[in-house]
Structure formats: C-alpha cells, structure tokens
Chain A
C-alpha cells in the first residue's frame, strides 16, 4: 500500500474537481426508460434494472 498521506493529497488535488461532471442531457429520460423511478426526496432513481446483469 502506498503512503496514505500522499494519496490524500492527490485525491484533494485531482479527484472529482470538475463542477459539471458531464451528465448526459437525456439522463432522466434514459433512466426512466430503463424502468427506474425517481424518488424526489432522495434524488435517487430507484428500482432494479431489467435485462442483462
């Protein structure tokens, strides 16, 4: 295992720093078409995926 403090520094500087995170514009429609249902309280599209797992 590499030095944790070095990892903490790299995480702070480089991970999840971009503000938009490039979400797809039709994300909501795609998730709904997969059978998920948005829980407006938690913001989670809930349910089990149909198909190829």
Chain B
C-alpha cells in the first residue's frame, strides 16, 4: 500500500500539464475508451496519481474514476467521507481527496470538481493540487464554502520515510533514487528472499513511475519554454540586425541536449 507523500509526489509531477489530450487522458482512454481523450480530466488526474504512486486501493476504493460524484460515493460507501463543513475541513490532511461544488452545497450529487489536499491552511481553506483547472494542472487555494467534502484514503501510515523527504537528500543530477527503506521493509516483511525481492521490486517500480511522471511534466514544461524562447528570438531578430537567430537557437538546443538522466540504485535486497 502507498503513502500520502507518494500520492502528492505523483500529483506534483503533473504540475504544468496543460491541454488535452494529455498523458492523463490518454492513459484513462486506453482503459475506458477514446471518449475520455478530450473529456474533463480532474478526476482522471486523481486516478492517474493514485495508480502511479501505489495508492490504487486507497484512493480508488471503487476502481478508476472520471466522474467525481461516483468517486465521492465510493468514499461514502467505505465510511471514509467527511462533509465540507468548516469544522470538518479544519481536520483535512495532506493527501485527502477533496471534492468541490461551485453551487456551495455539501451534496455529493452536486459535485463539480476534485483535487488533492497538499496543505491545510487552518482557516477553513485548503491548498490543493488539481488537474483540469483552467485546463491545466495547478496549485489552488479553496474555501470550505466551495468544498462539498473530502475522502480520506486508507494510506499506509507506517512508511518510515517519504519520497518528498528522500528528494531533499538527492544528488541534483539524480532523477530516480531507490529509497533504502524499501529494502529494509522488504527484509522485515518477508523472510523468503523471493518474496522480499518481489516486494522491493514493486516498491521500486512505484518510485520509478512517480519520477517518470515528474520527468514527463518537466519535459512538457520545457517544450513550452522552447516555444516562448523561439518567439522571443524572433522578436529580438526583428528589432536588431546584429542578432543571428539561428545561432541563438542552436546554442539553446545545445544546452538542452546536455541534459542527462541518471538512474541511481541506492541498495539491493540481501538476505
């Protein structure tokens, strides 16, 4: 089972994703039909982050969801639903799945939108990460007045370290790092080396998927940057005969080509 930190790491990896179809709608459409390629993708985002962070069972108690009302009903059926009143919102935690009704009711049937809580601001408002807000994945601030309620996933609270904390210790050139705690957990959980190795591999896979999503988001942002730079170069060239736009673009491209990706395996299971 995954953690709220892994869920948030997956959500952060999607920040900046914009437009549709995109990696999230494509993945959902791949399982449920091409209609979803250009559909509203807020809940497809939550589904994507859950599946890419080892949190499928915790965050998707009824399975994949694109329709927010069904998703909220899944939490309600499990007894993990909290209404969007101020006292309840004050108790929301990072990783909770928050549902919005722009008509300001707490009725599940009226839910319009969904996100993941990144921080509780303590004043009846939550700072969230949301997919398909202005057709992009962005951080938002939302008041309890617009919050219909939230679901509390059954995350694994026993994980001794979080991916976010792991990232703080990482070499800046390292994109993927296999956390040492997965090896310790694998050893303590299973005495048989085969099961221990399988557990470690599953955990590693989740980490790699989360960082893969992060790399995808960074590359998408990089494409936007390249387009903006190209536009800026054209403007500059139009106003100055001394600028060689081709040479400038070549230098930018050369800098981009120097970006490298490293795979750093910190530890392996031993018996």
Contact = CB atoms under 8 A, between A and B. Distances in A.
B139 A36 contact: yes
A37 B146 CA distance: 25
A44 B16 contact: yes
B119 A49 contact: yes
A15 B221 CA distance: 26
A34 B120 contact: no
Interface SS majority for chain B: mixed
Contacts of A26: 141
Given A16-B42, A42-B221, A49-B118, A8 B33 contact: yes
A5 B125 CA distance: 35
Given A8-B36, A10-B67, A18 B138 contact: no
Interface in B52-98: 63-70, 94
Interface in A9-24: 10-12, 14-18, 20-24
B140 interface: yes
A3 B143 CA distance: 33
Interface in B1-19: 4-5, 8, 12, 15-16, 18
A11 B16 contact: no
Interface in B111-130: 112-113, 118-121, 125, 127
B133 interface: yes
A17 B102 CA distance: 10
A52 to B, nearest CB: 7
Most buried by A among B35, B67, B146: B67
Nearest to B4: A53
Contacts of B175: none
Interface in B130-153: 132-134, 136-143, 146
A30 to B, nearest CB: 5
Interface residues of A, number: 37
Contact of B40 (A16, A20, A31, A48): A16
Given A24-B143, A44-B16, A16 B119 contact: no
Given A11-B66, A51-B119, A53-B164, A21 B40 contact: no
Given A21-B113, A23-B140, A46-B15, A14 B127 contact: no
A31 B126 CA distance: 11
Nearest to B38: A12
B67 A53 contact: no
Contact of A7 (B15, B32, B120, B146): B32
Contacts of B225: 41
Contact of B112 (A14, A34, A51, A52): A14
Which are the 10 A-B pairs with shortest beta-carbon distances?
A16-B40, A4-B32, A8-B35, A18-B102, A42-B16, A15-B40, A22-B146, A24-B141, A27-B141, A44-B16
Interface of B: 4-5, 8, 12, 15-16, 18, 32-33, 35-36, 39-40, 42-43, 63-70, 94, 100, 102, 112-113, 118-121, 125, 127, 132-134, 136-143, 146, 162, 164, 167-168, 221, 224-225, 228
